Amino acid sequence: MGKLVLAAKITHVPSILLSEREGPLKGRREGALRSLKEIGERAKQRGADTFVVFDTHWFSNFGFHINANERHKGVYTSHEAPQLIQDMQYDYPGNSALGVAMAAEAKKGGLDVIAHKVPTLALEYGTIVPMLYMNRDAELKVVSAASPLFATMDEFRIFGEATRRAIEQSDNNVAVLASGSLSHQLVSNQQVGDSQWDVVGSEFNRQMDLRVLELWKEGRYREFVRMLPEYARKCNGEGLMADTGMLFGLLGWDTYQGKAEQLCNYFPSSGSGQVNVEFHVG
């Protein structure tokens, strides 16, 4: 039987990459960078063979989609910010069987889900950036799941629950990553520049993010999931906070009682709020 060995809410912002380059951000995302590597090491130490990534940068208009390719290989340039992420080569083994099983379990929950085996279906940077630090040697397989733009938080919960069942019925040890921001009100075009990396889109959003981190630290998950739909809506959730809804569905929603371990300081990036947190399982 398979096992969920790690679950985490993670950042994927381009400013992490810029932190490794010469310029005004050099070294300033060291905490986020270091904690992404730490999560990757923890996954490997616990015997993980697969990463499943709930990717808020892979948007789908209709239905749920899973990249179940046997291999993910390509050269990625971001259409959103080609000056920040360009010509990034990636090559990871996939886990088609697990992707297909996730789709089958989600369909049992009434969701419209397709597991794709299409070699030209590329990964998005919500998966590629974390894998750069967590899976640099391409030792672990990768499955990526999209964020449907017109789904509900309840559907995200169902998808997460289905992913957990698929994992436990598989032969895999799996690390699951919710790849996306906390609040996500981005700066205006007029604000773009060196200072964009140092602001959260609104003080309301920043205070809400900090409150969420307090709730997680105190284990008050029942309260958090009750507020999650409104939090996603009022704080401009990236991909509707699909990744967070899926993550908590995977964890057990309001019955989860594990520890939330914050692995880096909360930080702003172009108006969004970012953090890396492991939610301990087992």
Task: Say what the pLDDT of residue 10 is.
Answer: 98
Task: Say what the pLDDT of residue 195 is.
Answer: 61
Task: Say what the pLDDT of residue 272 is.
Answer: 92
CB 209 within 8 A of CB 235: yes
3-state class (DSSP) for residue 101: helix
CB 215 within 8 A of CB 223: yes
Question: In whole angstroms, what is the distance from residue 182 CA to residue 260 CA?
Answer: 15
Contacts of 133 (CB under 8 A, 6+ apart): 16, 33, 36, 37, 40
CB 173 within 8 A of CB 2: yes
**In terms of Cα–Cα distance, which of 158, 134, 156, 147 is closest to 51?**
134
- The phi, psi pair for 6, rounded to 5°, reads -160, 140
Question: In whole angstroms, what is the distance from residue 17 CA to residue 84 CA?
Answer: 8
CB 231 within 8 A of CB 208: yes
Instruction: 229-233: list long-range contacts, CB under 8 Å, 24+ apart.
Output: 229/152, 229/153, 232/153
Return per-residue pLDDT of the chain as tens, 282 residues.
Answer: 999 999 999 999 988 887 888 887 787 889 999 999 999 999 999 999 999 999 999 999 999 999 999 999 999 999 888 888 899 999 999 999 999 999 999 999 999 999 999 999 999 999 999 999 999 999 999 999 999 999 999 999 999 999 999 999 999 999 999 999 999 987 677 666 666 667 788 999 999 999 999 999 999 999 999 999 999 999 999 999 999 999 999 999 999 999 999 999 999 988 899 999 999 997
Task: Say what the pLDDT of residue 282 is.
Answer: 79
Task: Say what the pLDDT of residue 191 is.
Answer: 66
Q: What's the token pair of residue 106?
A: 């989600």
CB 205 within 8 A of CB 186: no
How many helices (H) and strands (E) in the chain?
8, 12
With 0-12 CB in 10 A as exposed, 13-18 as middle and 19+ as buried, what is 192? exposed
Span 3-279: which CATH code? 3.40.830.10
3-state percent breakdown (helix, strand, coil) of the chain, nearest 5: 40, 25, 35
Cα of first residue to Cα of last residue in the chain, in angstroms, is 14
- Residue 120: CB atoms within 10 A of its CB come to 6
Task: Say what the pLDDT of residue 56 is.
Answer: 97
